[in-house]
Amino acid sequence: MRLSTRNQLAGTIAEVDIGAVMATVKVRLAGGDQVITSSITKEAAENLGLEVGQDATVFIKSTEVTIGVA
């Protein structure tokens, strides 16, 4: 699969919480303890057959990136 999205982060699915309409998926990034959380439709989660422990790639496409400091 070739995509134009440049921000691609490899990891493993750590948690899948499927609700009535939406699903929350947590992916632990490879090589660390960082976790990315994504909200997707319930239908998409079921169609992808997402399971804890499954390898996954997080694709991030955004028109804005915000940085904050203390």
14-46 pLDDT tens trace: 999 999 999 999 999 999 899 999 999 999 999
> Which domains are seen in the chain, by residue range?
7-55 (2.40.50.100)
Per-residue DSSP letter, 19: -
pLDDT higher at 2 or 20? 20
- Check whether 47 has a pLDDT greater than 80: yes
Per-residue DSSP letter, 46: H
Which pair of structure tokens corresponds to residue 51? 């399971």
Answer yes or no: are the C-beta atoms of 67 and 47 closer than 8 Å. no
- Check whether 65 has a pLDDT greater than 80: no
Percent of the chain's residues with pLDDT above 70: 100
Q: How far apart are the first and last CA of the chain?
A: 40
